[in-house]
Amino acid sequence: MSNERTANEIAHAKAVREMFSGIARKYDFLNHFLSVNTDKRWRRLVRGKLEDVLSRKDALVLDVACGTGDLSLELQKNAKAKVIGTDFCRPMLAIARDKNGKHNERIPYVEADGMNLSFADASFDAVTIAFGLRNFSNWQDGLKELHRVLKKDGKLVILEFSTPVVPGFKQIFNLYFTQILPRIGGAVSGSRGAYEYLPDSVSRFPDQKGLAEMMRKTGFSTVEYKNLTGGIAAVHSGIKN
């Protein structure tokens, strides 16, 4: 049973990698267009959660599942800390590296699977992951890996789609998310399947309270979350004991 689960997880990771490779060139445009640029404000809120760490010259921050580097760039902006980005999708990382030149940044990007990071235990003062955890083949094991690379008292900040909490708005958003978004995303990217995967992956992912409990079980304390835009997304944070 264990081997079967591992085989399924490997197959899932391969499918996700191929899917994101196929939409890499349209990824940023669609993110900003489909969210009406709200995703940019959400990333600024993640940076705000880490101001104390980012202001330290001796601090090291890892942005996991960094994709095309938008959050990595946001974190590095005016920061004294060093930010490193990592993702397992090479075409996405290629775009992230191109952005370094455009923004005069020197963020190192490392190709690695978030479920098996190529960093030693207790390496980072903070770890972030935006819209990536739900794509992991095993969420609990993914959290354990993020916990592993954090130093004691280090902070984890997760930005992820969640469950809308406003009655009425929830139904409207779900209609947009499941019916309209896949059509627009598919037409622009050429991969409708990728944008059908998005609402499906969100529907299977734990809600705000569920993710908070999962973080506590992994060994994080002072776990809290903040709903964003009526609960479309949420920012979760916790401290490694």
Percent of the chain with pLDDT over 70: 98
Q: Per-residue pLDDT tens for 85-118?
A: 999 999 999 999 999 988 888 999 999 999 999 9
User: What are the start-end ranges of the H helices in 103-238?
Assistant: 139-149, 169-175, 181-189, 192-204, 208-218
In a domain, 213, yes or no: yes
* Number of compact structural domains in the chain: 1
Mean pLDDT, range 1-21, rounded to an integer: 78
pLDDT over threshold 70, residue 2: no
pLDDT surpasses 70 at 5:
no
Which residue range(s) make up the domain with 13? 2-25+34-162+206-240
pLDDT tens readout for residues 141-173? 999 999 999 999 999 999 999 999 988 888 898
> Coil, strand, or helix at residue 121?
coil
Instruction: Please report whether residue 136 resides in a domain.
Output: yes
Q: What is the CA radius of gyration of the chain?
A: 17
Kindly state whether residue 73 falls inside one of the protein's structural domains.
yes
Position 33 pLDDT exceeds 80 = no
Query: Is 186 among the domain residues?
Result: no
Q: Is the pLDDT of residue 183 over 50?
A: yes
Quick check: is 66 in a domain? yes
The CATH number of the domain holding residue 137 is 3.40.50.150
**Percentage above 90 pLDDT, the chain:** 67
The answer as to whether 111 is a domain residue is: yes
Q: Nearest CA to 126 among 96, 100, 93, 149?
A: 149
Band (pLDDT 50/70/90 cuts) for residue 4 is low
pLDDT band at residue 1 under the 50/70/90 scheme? very low
**How far is Cα 51 from Cα 141, in angstroms, rounded to an integer?**
28
Say whether pLDDT at 3 is over 50: no
d(CA 25, CA 22): 8
Mean pLDDT (the chain) is 92
Contact 135, 65 (CB under 8 A): yes
Evaluate whether residue 58 is within a structural domain. yes
- Predicted TM-score (pTM) of the model is 0.91
Whether 188 is covered by a domain: the verdict is no
